[in-house]
Structure 1
Amino acid sequence: MTKQDLIQEVARSTGFIQLDIKSTVEELLKQIGKSLDLNSNIEIRGFGTFSLRVRKSRPARNLRTGEEVILPERLVPVFKYSATLRKRISSSISHGVKLPSTTIDKNIS
């Protein structure tokens, strides 16, 4: 589901116009981004928590030259879903909801 799909679905289910929903969704995402910029967690009860986690420095390889480089330590955004959301997802799967298929590129090493 894209952001536009989400806006259309919320507008359809609530009866609000898409323009209002769009500005609300964009403001929500902006506020989540601002909180993460301040290294503050965002907890949405019954859904999950957005936070930042430190990814340690690690070696990598420049694919163009083959040269080994060191990627510096950095902050990465993470999402941890709530127990309520986990139960809802598990229930959907056990009731026959088909999962999207995934493809694995065997050329990636």
Structure 2
Amino acid sequence: MNKSDLIETLYKSNELLPKNDIEDSLNYIIDCLSSSLSNGHRVEIRGFGSFSVRKRKERIARNPKTGKSISVTTKFHPYFRASKSLKEAINN
């Protein structure tokens, strides 16, 4: 399911809301999540999971085509951990 599929599913479940309002709301939620994560905060949605930022250390990597070593700087990446109830819902 992608973003437009999610918007369509939400619209079909509640046709009282205009599709544009649903799309704007979803975009706002995504912007809030992104903003919080970029500021180094953890975002927890009870019953779903938590989003956080993890740090990847600086390292030496290889270019697979040339075999040449290159230095990769320290980077941050988003991390998602599913809640226990989400894991149970998927596995049952």
- TM above 0.5, yes or no, is yes
Normalising by structure 2, report the TM-score.
Answer: 0.92
Match of 2:48 in 1: 47
- Measured in 1, the distance between the counterparts of 2:39 and 2:9 equals 31
1:61-100 to 2 correspondences below 5 Å = 61-91=62-92
**How many residue pairs were aligned?**
91
Q: Which moved more, 1:46-55 or 1:58-67?
A: 58-67
Q: 1:54 is paired with a residue of what secondary structure?
A: strand
The percent identity for this pair of structures is: 35
Superposition deviation, residue 64 in structure 1:
4.6
Superposition deviation, residue 70 in structure 1:
1.7
Superposition deviation, residue 17 in structure 1:
1.9
Larger relative contact order, structure 1 or 2 (CA cutoff 8 Å, min sep 6) = 2
Match of 1:5 in 2: 5
Structure 1 unmatched runs, 5+ = 92-109
Q: Deviations over 1:8-45 (max 9, x none)?
A: 00110122221110000000000000001110011000
Q: Deviations over 1:46-85 (max 9, x none)?
A: 0010110011222211245431012112111010010010
What do you get for the CA RMSD once the two structures are aligned? 1.1
Runs (4 or more) in structure 1 with deviation over 4 Å come to none
Q: Which moved more, 1:63-72 or 1:6-15?
A: 63-72
Match of 1:104 in 2: none
Normalising by structure 1, report the TM-score.
Answer: 0.78
